[in-house]
Structure 1
Amino acid sequence: MSYDHPIGVFDSGVGGLTVFQEILKQLPRERVVYFGDTGHVPYGGRSPEELIRFADSITAFLIEQGVKLILDACNSTSSVALPYLQARYEIPIIGVVEAGVKMALQVTRNGKIGIIATEATIKSGVHRRLILEREPKAEVFGQACPLFVPLVEAGNVDGPETRRVAAEYLFPLKQAGVDTLIFGCTHYPYLAPVVQEIMGKEVALVDPAVETVRQAKEILIRMNKLSEGIKPGFNHTFYVSGSPEQFKRVARQLTGLGLIEEVKQVILD
């Protein structure tokens, strides 16, 4: 059976486009309704109460658009709001945190795992808890990188300032000898070339988007709700709470995709 309702994806801004791009690879016949909360970005310094409120409003909006499944593509809200959303709504809602943990444990060789994320995600301790539940002997090193999201939102992914900031953030993780580094924010894969250069080619970089979308595909197959009739590459819808033009400009720069044509502004507060 073909089930042509769209998949919902949300993030604080353009970071969730890393998940959108993975959907295009793994689920090319699915339509996506994307919401970037650019009016409130960055989420990293927000309180748990604010993050739950933002995520709740966005989830309700996406459900109004008729989505069949939602990917919470923001680690900050996945860390603190996901249990609330999953309890409140009947629709399947998937976060990105557990996917990153699973992948990291599969690839680490020395058991030293680093996490770079927003302040909210690091403070939640969710990555550390999930890693140690699965591998008590692992050593976990978290590093908040509060300037990374503003840099990516501005499209500054490889300039001198970005490299200086990245070197400062990553120094403690290099000193710790991590061999695996989780991108604990979906914005951060756009900084992968800079991060890899600083950390060294021997360090594995983990982008949770791949595993997250694989999990979504499994759920859709199990629910018999895969889409079969949509022409690949069309019919995606983008909403933001901030400037549509800014989002479109940076999104096209980061993704190289011409699919992001019309971006609509929606204020949920």
Structure 2
Amino acid sequence: MNQPIGVIDSGVGGLTVAKEIMRQLPNENICYLGDTLRCPYGPRDPEQVRKFTMDMTQFLLTHNIKLLVIACNTATAAALHYIRDNVDIPVVGVIQPGARAAIKATKNSQVGVIGTEGTIKSDAYTNALSLLNHQVAVKSLACPKFAPLVESSEYKGSVAKKVVAQSLRPFKNSGIDTFVLGCTHYPLLQPIIENVLGPRVKVINPGLETASEVSMLLDYFTLRNVSDEPQQHRFFTTGSPKIFGGIASDWLGLPQMVVEFAKIGQERK
């Protein structure tokens, strides 16, 4: 089954998940779509997020994907069940895998979660964590400035360090020992986040566990790529291919990657 695995996100953040899939599953092809034109999704109404997520899904279905990864926490919270009910391929989100990884890691059942406004308002992580361990205490915080830092390629500089340090002040002396990056943009800020939180806090990137779940589903549905043909990854964006490509090539280590423009949906605002 050399059909690609589809990966969708509101922008470049889902590349953190795609990178982990590529690392864990090197024989698989990836077809990625980032909706950078309509990013960020966090402040949007859940119904609008569902529509945008379906727009992206329908686009990738035309590229014959065999499995879909919703590599966006906001879209997972708002649209995962809706998408699963409306497509005929396996669909994976990032929240449940991230919650499982946090429960495995925590020693004192004190977990911190950061995400977009939409993800935090949905209580998706709190609910997922509580289902796995009803004694877990969750401290959640929306960090709406983080994704724009990544989308504007400012995630390595002094501005990012200042914004992260200020934003994470509520977690100082909070007692948490595990910290979930509840937005796929945030792993690009992970070195700064880890520096602010200190070595005693385990930072969870849900992309690692998501890739493991993808691997399991490929086996369960007999979808693994057993072809000897070289991998052919494709990357699409609804915004600027040049800007997207600059961030993507840096993060994925693919200096000569080609990014294609995608026009999706009817609502362009």
Normalised by the shorter chain, which TM-score bucket?
Answer: over 0.9
SS of the residue aligned with 1:175? coil
Q: Which residue of 2 aligns with 1:21?
A: 19
SS of the residue aligned with 2:255? coil
Contact 2:5 2:29 in 1 (8 A): yes
C-alpha deviations, 1:11-63, integer Å up to 9, x for none?
01111111111111111111111000000011111110110000011111111
Displacement of 1:97 after TM fit? Answer: 0.1
Contact 1:9 1:32 in 2 (8 A): yes
Structure 2 unmatched ranges of 5 or more: none
Q: Which amino acid aligns with 1:27?
A: L
Does residue 255 of structure 2 align to residue 258 of structure 1? yes
Displacement of 1:264 after TM fit? Answer: 2.7
Displacement of 1:179 after TM fit? Answer: 0.8
SS of the residue aligned with 2:203? strand
Matched residues in 1 for 2:203 and 2:257: separation?
Answer: 27
Out of 177, 188, 198, the position equivalent to 2:186 is 188
Q: Percent identity?
A: 38
> Which runs of at least 4 in structure 1 moved beyond 3 Å after TM superposition?
none
Displacement of 1:158 after TM fit? Answer: 2.4
Change (3 A) 1:230 1:145: farther
Out of 187, 203, 206, the position equivalent to 1:205 is 203
Counting matched residue pairs gives 266
SS of the residue aligned with 1:155? coil
Contact 1:103 1:211 in 2 (8 A): yes
Q: Which amino acid aligns with 2:142?
A: A
Q: Which residue of 2 aligns with 1:98?
A: 96
Matched residues in 1 for 2:248 and 2:220: separation?
Answer: 32
Matched residues in 1 for 2:40 and 2:185: separation?
Answer: 11
Matched residues in 2 for 1:262 and 1:245: separation?
Answer: 8
User: What TM-score, normalized to structure 2?
Assistant: 0.95
Out of 78, 84, 87, the position equivalent to 1:86 is 84
Q: Which residue of 1 aligns with 2:137?
A: 139
Give the CA RMSD over aligned residues. Answer: 1.3
SS of the residue aligned with 2:41? coil
Does residue 232 of structure 2 align to residue 235 of structure 1? yes
Q: Using the TM superposition, name which of 196-205 and 252-261 deviates more.
A: 252-261
SS of the residue aligned with 1:81? helix
* Residues 114-133 of structure 1 mapped to structure 2, 5 A cutoff: 114-133=112-131
Change (3 A) 1:64 1:198: same
Change (3 A) 1:218 1:172: same
Out of 164, 169, 181, the position equivalent to 1:166 is 164
Displacement of 1:255 after TM fit? Answer: 3.0
Contact 2:55 2:264 in 1 (8 A): no
Structure 1 unmatched ranges of 5 or more: none
Displacement of 1:183 after TM fit? Answer: 0.7
Q: Which residue of 2 aligns with 1:176?
A: 174
C-alpha deviations, 1:152-194, integer Å up to 9, x for none?
0111112221111111211111231211000100110010110
